[in-house]
Structure 1
């Protein structure tokens, strides 16, 4: 009995030491992966990396990590010289095949990010505010764009004749823009419909005032965004990359 008790105590101690060693090893590996991701993906800041699954050491022995989560900061979107923050930027790497500690390749990387309406409004055309368009239009990927008619047109550099300016005085325009992704890193807002203006030709000019693009800078170069959704809080984006190299 005494021998069995000693054996159990030894097993518990060894198990504890193994767990400690495993956590120390995973902490070191997370730091190494973060440096590799920053270097290989051309990121401005080092990401936060979490290697999931236990034990980690057996994954290292097998030279493959099941699941790695990467969270990024310092990602910006730019439109017309205005920069806004892109938040909740994350990537999940699965099937990460290791080549020692020098390089790795992920079978698949899924990326996601968000832009709030408040930040989206900071990049909007002069005089415009962007907000939730309601569930029916959100299901179509649309947002609501509102602004004073004269301010929107003049902000876009459109000349308004004196008589027309008087007719538009105090008039607020509402449009609904469809949001899409192009080139894997650019958010495009295009008016789905435009209100009629009492001045011939100005309604067509209005499109120049409300349509705009947001170019996202700082995402991993191998992840291309291909989907955007709208909800009560803002825009959500996602995309997928395959055979993502993490060479240093």
Structure 2
């Protein structure tokens, strides 16, 4: 009889714990969307068991966040982030659970070449150009300049906490010989921001893949909500 009671109570505790974590995940998703200015709610998954014990201590071991179709960028130049995934560690809760700040976090954003081309200067397309022997990944930009059609190889790099930039490795001699390098780079080189990322997250690296660019990010004291 005692064993049966223990099993029943254990089952009720697990059920209550899972219900509580589901409610918390939904509330966290709503607050995260409001905090980051997202058009739709991200998916929030609170890892670890039991959840109620973690809440009692005011700190969650691991929280995973996923979002898709994020309209980033600024100044009339929009960059669509196809997907963003973040893993937050040591998430401290405060303010009646309205604020959640992680001790540390790492994430990965993915941008397709179609979306990167839309953020590029008008008439410029971006495609994958392969990997160099030194490990660098390259993209090819094709666009028009002074009535001519040209293509250049560029490397995508992190330019700031939330910026990535494309810089042509070498320009056609036909233009540089005429002293048109600055004018051409204004057309073919560009930077763009990845906005709506959690506060405290900074871009760390970017890699070109056959399908798009993968941007890694990380940080400490990262604000999920509040």
Question: Relative to structure 1, is the Cα distance of residues 192 and 137 closer, same or farther in structure 2, using a 3 angstrom cutoff?
Answer: farther
Which residue matches 1:194? 171
Report the alpha carbon displacement of residue 21 of structure 1 after superposing the two structures with TM.
0.3
Q: Paired residue for 1:108? A: 104
Structure with the greater alpha carbon radius of gyration: 1
2:145 is matched with 153
Contact 1:83 1:123 in 2 (8 A): yes
Q: Is the 8 A contact 1:84 1:122 kept in 2?
A: yes
CA gap of 1:241–1:201, structure 2 versus 1, over 3 A, is: same
| Partner SS for 1:75 | strand
Of residues 22-31 and 70-79 in structure 1, the stretch that sits farther from structure 2 once superposed is 70-79
Matched, 1:175 2:152: yes
1:197/1:183 Cα in 2 relative to 1: closer, same or farther (>3 Å)?
same
Aligned partners of 2:74, 2:224: CA distance in 1, in Å? 30
Asked if the contact 1:114–1:236 (Cα under 8 Å) also holds between the matched residues in 2, the reply is yes
Partner of 2:55: 60
CA distance in 1, matches of 2:24, 2:223: 16
The answer to whether the 8 Å contact 1:117/1:234 transfers is yes
> Normalized against structure 1, the TM-score is what?
0.79
Deviations, residues 178-236 of structure 1 (Å, cap 9, x unaligned)? 21122311221111111222772345532222111222222223211121111111111
| Pair 1:18–1:114, CA change in 2 (3 A) | same
1:77-88 map, 5 Å: 77-78=72-73, 81-88=76-83
- C-alpha RMSD of matched pairs (Å): 2.5
Which stretches in structure 2 are left out of the alignment for 5+ residues?
A: none
* Distance 1:16-1:41 versus aligned 2 partners, 3 A rule: same
Task: Provide the TM-score with structure 2 as the length reference.
Answer: 0.86
1:50 aligns with 2:62: no
CA distance in 2, matches of 1:39, 1:127: 35
Find the aligned partners of 1:77 and 1:40 in 2 and give their Cα distance.
15
Q: Deviations over 1:62-115 (max 9, x none)?
A: 222110011224522447834232022122110112335243331012122011
Quick one: structure 1 residues 247 and 132, their matched pair in 2 at CA, closer, same or farther if it must change by over 3 Å?
closer
Check 1:245–1:128 CA distance in 2 against 1; reply closer, same or farther (3 A cut): closer
**Who is 1:7 aligned against?**
2
Task: List runs of 5+ in structure 1 lacking aligned partners.
Answer: 1-5, 155-164
Distance in 1 (CA, whole Å) between partners of 2:100 and 2:72 is: 29
Q: Return the offset for 1:44.
A: 4.5
- What number of residue pairs does the alignment pair up? 224
